Structure 1
Amino acid sequence: MTKKVLIIGGCGRIGSSVARDIANHTDAEVIVTGRQPRQDIKQPLQFLALDLEDLERLRAAIATSNLVIHCAGPFHYRDGRVLKTCIEQGVNYIDVSDHRSFYQKVINYRDEAKAAGITAILNTGVFPGISNSMVRQGIEQLDAAETIHLSYVVAGSGGAGITVMRTTFLGLQQPFEAWIDGKWQKKLPYTQREIIEFPKPYGKTGVYWFDVPETYTFAESFPVKNVITKFGSVPDLYNHLTWITAHVFPSAWVKSKKGVEFFSHVGYKMTSVTDRFSGIGVAMRAEISGKKGDRNVKYCSTMVHENTAIAAGYGTGGVAQLVLAGKLHQPGIFPVEQVLPTNLFEETMASRGIEIHRQLNVE
């Protein structure tokens, strides 16, 4: 029988990229949801009008599915109702969640998910997502890892919608804890600018401390002393404007819902203009320091794609393909780096034309 995939928030930029990837790589029936009726959804995709506040309709939609993919952010605002319902209905679950607060809410259902026999995989897009697996890929090359330094740069809007803009500004609201010297330490978002050498066309680009789920989950997933996660934008003008938003404007503005909406809409309008010359791509760089034998080594991997939203679709779509094929089955709730084996990660990325360049240097 044909398997059915339900994509919550499947009409947005990220959700639609996930839907296209699954349609291209599997024979599954793909149903995308949105709050308002849509007439522009084309075959082979199907559309279902669904509001997450309508719990009965949500439950009915999940009950008839084989896999549910949650793409309806910002995840700062989401509770665990979709995952909770999947557990109740015995349906596998994937999401593109991108904030530790959501992870901390839903991980409390881990034992319930395991008892129900469902596989629930979090943080599966591009960052988090592909980035997580790049780090696992590197960790496995070392005998002992000490420091993970993960950096990202996005050109303009990244080809994503206004929801991603909201996520960025929500990430500026308060200090967060990072795993440094084997303990949790407070960091301010968009501080400690660092110049990182990314592959072409980005080159040397400024990045800043930013709270992403990896900052939190890597400390649980890998026995390391330091986890550093930094984010930046091109053109560099956006880095400076974001820094000003985080550190100059009154905090009440940045923390209010109206303020987030204002900054998000202004940012989206600006990037809609600059995307024409900056592009909408993404570059990621994972550097891991540690030991191989008795030698100090530094592993570095990089990945570039011309469209951030499409790359996110590849990350989540690849995981969905493996779950649907029965190649990825581990009851419980996990961030993607804990459950996706490197060989399967490499297989799905290669099938989508994603190249990850790797280098191991002895210091």
Structure 2
Amino acid sequence: MRIVVFGGAGFEGSGIVRDLIKSCVSEVVIADCNIDGAHILANEFNTSGTKVSVQFVDADDHNSLVEAIKGADAVVSAIGPFYSYGVKTIKAAIDAKVPYVDINDDYDSTKEAFKFHDEAKKAGIPVIIGLGVTPGLSNVCVSYAAGKLDRVNTINISWIAGAGPGGHAVALHFFHALDGKIPIFIDNKYELISPVKEGKKSVRFPDPFGLVEVPYIGHSEHITLPMFIQGVKTVTVRGSLYPLIVQETINQIVKLGLFSMTPIKINETLIAPRDFAMEFFHTLMEAEETRYQVERVLKSLPTPGYGSLIIEVVGDKNNSTAKYTYVINADLCDATEWPASIGAQLLAGGEIKQKGVLAPEQCIQPEPFFGELKKRGIKISEVEEIIRVV
């Protein structure tokens, strides 16, 4: 079993690589532009039973992507931000005819990915979009609940996560997910809303987070769940970073319109507001007082990436209204990487029979998937509430 990890030397990609090796995959290829980082990671596993190799890849070069995965049993992509690279890696997988999975969490590139459904089907491969934690685990929980209901009416997904880990692409994703107007599915139709200006909701998360006002966020579940969960009328996704000073800083930068890529001239130099915003954000976060506040709060968490994910699915069951609530408390970085690793192994083993572009709720069997996560220490609690008509 030979699995290639695009972006395998990066923050999320390296976690996927580690899980594949711990799962005793026979061969793992770390495909990245950061060759030095890839070799350092590969050297961690000199004594493992897995053959680990390094391959240079340029994510902006189609031929480079294709050559890196030719002959592989599966490829998993962690190259972000996905609004820039999601479609590029999918095209490479289709041309190389290699089964594909990614952790794409951007709503627009997810929508774009489904335009390649027929091409992927013709190539005879499954292409799984967004198999991380949210989207990914969230979608599978929804499909599990849907199997217990006669009809699904409402899906509400909320999460909060420690802001400690992550790289440049992760920061770009959060800005992108809050910028401009994002689509949400309300009352059987899409509405475009500004997440930093409208629709915040107070959500009670498990300790230590408590009651948090959480904004809408532009995520893939808004696109795929209305497509594949029959009858659903409302799908919402809300999310926040913790401590809240980090989230509020991002919100304020987005409110000022600083995520635009349209250059402005400053002293005869053209600068994209987005480039300025990213540098400004990192400068603010590195300021001594801010860094102290953030580090102090993160030290109170079990891990810097620790968080909570709540999925609520409401629908009809036996002439009553039923609500299923799923709660996951875990390091949400691990909970992003491990589902992708599990998905890649399913693909490489030929266990995903559908072809074409697929959402997790279409192709991942919930109970075996939950079992694999449980082996890795992620537990999912389920609460069922029935409102009976008397």
TM-score by length of 2: 0.86
The structural deviation recorded for 1:252 is 4.3
- Structure 2 CA distance for aligned equivalents of residues 319 and 280 of structure 1: 22
Q: Aligned to 1:180, which of 173, 182, 186?
A: 186
Extract unaligned runs of 5+ from structure 1.
Answer: none
1:263–1:138 Cα change, 3 Å: farther
- Per the alignment, residue 299 of structure 1 pairs with 324
Cα 1:85–1:142 change in 2 (3 A) is same
- 1: distance between equivalents of 2:138 and 2:217? 14
Does the CA contact (< 8 Å) of 2:62 and 2:92 recur in 1? Answer: no
* Cα distance change on mapping 1:31 and 1:358 into 2, 3 Å: same
Q: Give the corresponding residue for 2:40.
A: 40
Q: Distance in 2 between matches of 1:304 and 1:13?
A: 21
Q: Which has the larger radius of gyration?
A: 2
Alpha-carbon displacement from aligned partner over 1:178-207 (angstroms, at most 9, x marks no partner): 110111111112332222122233232221
- Which sits farther off after the overlay, 126-135 or 57-66? 57-66
Q: Which runs of 5+ in 2 are unaligned?
A: 262-272
SS in 1 for 2:59: coil
2:264 paired with 1:258: no
The one-letter amino acid paired with 1:334 is: L
Question: Residue deviations 1:125-151, cap 9 Å, x none?
Answer: 111111111221222222111110000
Conserved 8 A contact 1:162-1:268:
no
The alpha-carbon deviation at position 267 of structure 1 amounts to: 6.4
Match of 1:66 among 73, 77, 80: 73
Note the 1:1-363 alignment, pairs <5 A: 3-38=1-36, 39-41=39-41, 42=43, 43=45, 44=50, 45-78=52-85, 80-157=87-164, 159-190=165-196, 191-222=198-229, 223-247=231-255, 249=256, 251-252=257-258, 256-266=273-283, 269=286, 273-274=295-296, 275-278=298-301, 279-305=304-330, 307-363=331-387
Q: Which moved more, 1:317-326 or 1:218-227?
A: 317-326
Per-residue deviation, residues 30-67 of structure 1 (Å, max 9, x unmatched): 11122132141222532222112333332221113111
Matched residues in 2 for 1:253 and 1:347: separation? 40
Q: Measured at CA, do residues 177 and 57 of structure 1 come closer, stay the same or move farther in structure 2, by a change above 3 Å?
A: closer
In 2: Cα distance, 1:322 partner to 1:5 partner:
11
Change (3 A) 1:145 1:173: same
**8 Å contact kept, 2:28–2:53:** yes
Contact 1:4–1:66 (Cα < 8 Å) also in 2: yes
Q: In structure 1, what is the Cα distance between the partners aligned to 2:214 and 2:223?
A: 19
Counterparts of 1:362 and 1:79 in 2: how far apart (Å)? 40
Q: 3-state DSSP class of the match of 1:78?
A: helix
**Cα displacement (A) at 1:264:** 4.8
**Inter-partner Cα distance in structure 2 for 1:241 and 1:335:** 32
Contact residue 99 and residue 348 of structure 2 kept, 8 A: no
Count how many residue pairs are aligned between Structure 1 and Structure 2: 357
In structure 1, C-alpha distance between the alignment counterparts of 2:141 and 2:225, rounded to whole Å: 12
The one-character-per-residue Cα deviations of 1:324-352 (angstroms, maximum 9, x if unpaired) are: 22222211111111111222322222222
- Let me know the Cα RMSD of the aligned residues: 2.0
CA distance in 2, matches of 1:253, 1:176: 14
For 1:258 and 1:295, locate their aligned partners in 2 and report how far apart those are by CA, in whole Å: 52
- The verdict on how the C-alpha distance between 1:171 and 1:64 changes in structure 2, with shifts beyond 3 A counting, is same
State the SS of the aligned residue for 2:361.
Answer: helix
Aligned-pair identity in percent equals 24
Question: Is the contact made by 1:169 and 1:263 (CA closer than 8 Å) also made in structure 2?
Answer: no
For the 8 Å contact 1:193–1:209, the answer to whether it is kept is yes
Residue pair 2:249, 2:281 contacting (<8 A) in 1 also: no
The alignment partner of 2:83 has SS state of coil
TM-score by length of 1: 0.92
Aligned AA (2:310): R
CA 1:267–1:122 in structure 2 vs 1: closer, same or farther (change >3 Å)? farther
SS of match in other structure, 1:228: strand
